[in-house]
């Protein structure tokens, strides 16, 4: 860590220092981002780079911070370290060939991205889906949501300094991955939904496994509550920290548990029901507290709601085919036109927009990642908080950097 004075006295190697037209010695040495992140009014403030290798930024998020002592005067997330051109790749591959990419945008809730993309293609091409496949999509997607929330739970507590909870989370998550492996053939980067159905049919072993898993996880949730949620150290650490008022949520377009933690009961599954979600009885958990603890509680409640959906779906799983007999061949051409399909991911609203000119590959694909909007409000939300609280806020947003950068 350098003090502001050392930074100022260092010879600047930044081209922007003079090109900006600003005063050269009022610039901070460093790369382009740091140079443009000009020092604020306080001469004694300190510029600090959190990341891109900071453990609590989960990958390669970099946050530029201006600190006054331990307090954050300004925060600016710097993105793009994990940009992989997914949208451009969609323009050069036919729709079926793009499917593996959807498992890698958000690796924690890969099936939601699978679903958003197949949904958009199915909507555009008018492909029908058998009812059994819809149910299997719901079951696997909700299982995947739980696995994502469990991993977030473990990793968030890891950020806050509690090591062991992630071991409990991974113990349960491992059972989930075994189940999802039966359906998708992989354990993390799923590419299992297909245009007109799903890749594999549910085996009796899978149905049996899900029936066993639901009561098992339910019996573990009180333990999670007693071990972590009610732990006074955690409560003091995240309660009333990172308050996000509802108007900030709407201004930045945040969604998912971030919005629901601020009392906005917006869930795509309820707001614009897709697939067979309108047939299940479940609640949209919201909290009025607007703080990090509220977002934590929303996610824990969502695990329970997902279990409810899974239970109902597995009980009413219809017989039939898992692929529509008229499902297109991988080399099919998309008709000209455009479509948009949104699903509720573990982090919020996932949207895929496809524009096609009737060629072999889509003309343009836009991926709407919820993490991007959720992270955008961090700059405003973190202002005036303690540096340690900023970590608690960042974690409570549940970021997956590959999804934010795409």
Partner 1 sequence: MASIFRTIADLWSLVVGLAITGKEFCRPGVTVHYPRAEVTPESAASFRGPIELIGLDKEPAKPRCIACMLCVSACPSGCIAVTRAPAPKPTPEELKAIAEAEARGEKPKRPAPPKAPGTWTYDFSLCSLCGSCVEVCPVDSIGFSNDIYMVGTKREDFVFDQLARLARKAAARKAEPKPAAKPAPSAAPEAAPAPAASPSETGAATPASEA
Contact residues for partner 1 (CB under 8 A)? Answer: 93, 96-101, 103-104, 164, 168, 171, 174, 178, 181-182, 185-187, 189, 191, 194, 199, 223, 226-228, 230-233, 329-331
Pick between residue 77 and residue 103 the one whose CB is nearest to partner 1. 103
Question: Whose CA is closest to 295, among 343, 324, 263?
Answer: 263
* Euclidean distance between CA atoms 212 and 258, whole angstroms: 31
Helix (H) or strand (E) segment spanning residue 67: strand 62-68
Based on its alpha-carbon atoms, the radius of gyration of the chain, rounded to whole angstroms, reads 23
Please report the beta strands in 221-344, taking only residues with DSSP state E, as ranges in sequence order. Answer: 337-344
Q: How far apart are CA 178 and CA 175, in angstroms?
A: 5
User: Strands of 364-368's sheet, edge to edge?
Assistant: 337-344, 349-356, 364-368
CB of 206 to partner 1, least distance (A): 9
Minimum distance between the CB of residue 329 and partner 1, rounded to whole angstroms?
Answer: 8
Query: Shortest approach of partner 1 to residue 143 CB, angstroms?
Result: 15
Residue 264 burial (10 A CB sphere; 0-12, 13-18, 19+): middle
In the structure encoding, which two tokens stand for residue 91, read together? 């323009």
> Judging by beta carbons within 10 Å of its beta carbon (0-12, 13-18, 19+), is residue 126 exposed, middle or buried?
exposed
Q: How far is the CB of 132 from partner 1 (least distance, A)?
A: 18
Pairwise CA distance, residues 158 & 166, whole Å:
7
- Closest CB to partner 1 among 21 and 325? 325
Contact 385, 71 (CB under 8 A): yes
Residue closer to partner 1, measured from CB, 168 or 277: 168
State the DSSP string of 330-349: TTPPPPSEEEEEEEE-SSSE
Q: Considering beta carbons, is residue 174 or 283 the nearer one to partner 1?
A: 174
Q: Which is nearer to partner 1, 17 or 108 (CB)?
A: 108
At residue 337, φ and ψ (nearest 5 deg) are: 140, -170
Select 245 or 330, whichever has its Cβ closest to partner 1. 330
Give the shortest CB-181-to-partner 1 separation in angstroms.
Answer: 5
Beta-carbon contacts of 165 under 8 Å, excluding residues fewer than 6 positions away, are 153, 154, 157, 158, 224, 227, 228
Nearest CB to partner 1, comparing residues 101 and 286: 101
CA distance 24 to 5: 14
Report the nearest approach of partner 1 to the CB of residue 114 (Å).
Answer: 11
Least spacing, CB of residue 149 vs partner 1, in Å: 20
SS3 percent helix, strand, coil of the chain, rounded to 5, is: 50, 10, 40
The phi and psi torsions of 25 (rounded to 5 degrees) equal -85, 0
Nearer to partner 1 by Cβ, of 48 and 182: the residue is 182
CB closer to partner 1, 100 vs 253: 100
Q: Which of 226/271 has CB closer to partner 1?
A: 226
> Smallest gap, in angstroms, from Cβ of residue 180 to partner 1?
10
Q: How far is the CB of 32 from partner 1 (least distance, A)?
A: 33
CB of 48 to partner 1, least distance (A): 32
Q: Find where tokens 């929303």 sit.
A: 298
- How many whole angstroms separate alpha carbon 189 and alpha carbon 293? 29
């Amino acid at each position: 860590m350098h003090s502001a004075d050392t930074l100022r006295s260092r010879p600047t190697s930044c081209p922007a220092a003079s090109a900006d037209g600003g005063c050269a010695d009022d610039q901070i040495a460093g790369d382009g981002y740091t140079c443009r992140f000009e020092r604020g009014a306080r001469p004694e403030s300190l510029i600090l780079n959190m990341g891109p290798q900071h453990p609590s930024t989960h990958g390669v998020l970099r946050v530029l911070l201006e600190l006054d002592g331990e307090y954050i005067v300004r925060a600016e997330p710097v993105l793009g370290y994990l940009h992989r051109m997914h949208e451009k790749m969609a323009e050069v591959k036919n729709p079926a060939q793009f499917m593996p990419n959807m498992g890698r945008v958000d690796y924690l809730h890969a099936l939601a991205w699978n679903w958003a993309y197949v949904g958009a293609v199915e909507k555009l091409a008018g492909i029908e889906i058998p009812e059994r496949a819809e149910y299997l999509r719901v079951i696997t997607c909700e299982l995947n949501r739980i696995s994502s929330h469990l991993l977030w739970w473990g990793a968030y507590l890891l950020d806050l300094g509690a090591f062991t909870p992630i071991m409990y989370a991974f113990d349960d998550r491992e059972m989930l991955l075994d189940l999802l492996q039966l359906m998708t053939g992989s354990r993390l980067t799923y590419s299992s939904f297909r245009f007109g159905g799903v890749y594999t049919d549910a085996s009796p072993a899978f149905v049996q496994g899900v029936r066993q898993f639901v009561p098992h996880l339910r019996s573990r949730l009180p333990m999670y509550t007693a071990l972590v949620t009610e732990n006074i150290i955690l409560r003091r650490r995240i309660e009333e920290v990172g308050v996000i008022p509802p108007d900030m949520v709407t201004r930045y377009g945040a969604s998912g548990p971030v919005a629901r933690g601020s009392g906005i009961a917006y869930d795509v599954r309820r707001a614009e029901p897709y697939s067979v979600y309108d047939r299940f009885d479940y609640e949209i958990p919201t909290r009025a507290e607007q703080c990090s603890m509220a977002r934590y509680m929303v996610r824990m409640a969502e695990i329970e709601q997902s279990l409810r959906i899974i239970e109902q779906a597995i009980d009413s799983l219809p017989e039939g085919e898992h692929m529509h007999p008229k499902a297109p061949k991988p080399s099919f051409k998309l008709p000209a036109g455009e479509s948009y399909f949104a699903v509720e991911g573990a982090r919020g609203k996932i949207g895929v927009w496809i524009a096609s000119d009737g060629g072999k590959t889509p003309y343009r694909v836009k991926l709407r990642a919820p993490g991007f909007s959720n992270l955008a409000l961090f700059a405003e939300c973190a202002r005036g908080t303690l540096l340690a609280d900023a970590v608690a806020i960042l974690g409570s947003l549940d970021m997956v950097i590959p999804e934010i950068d795409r």
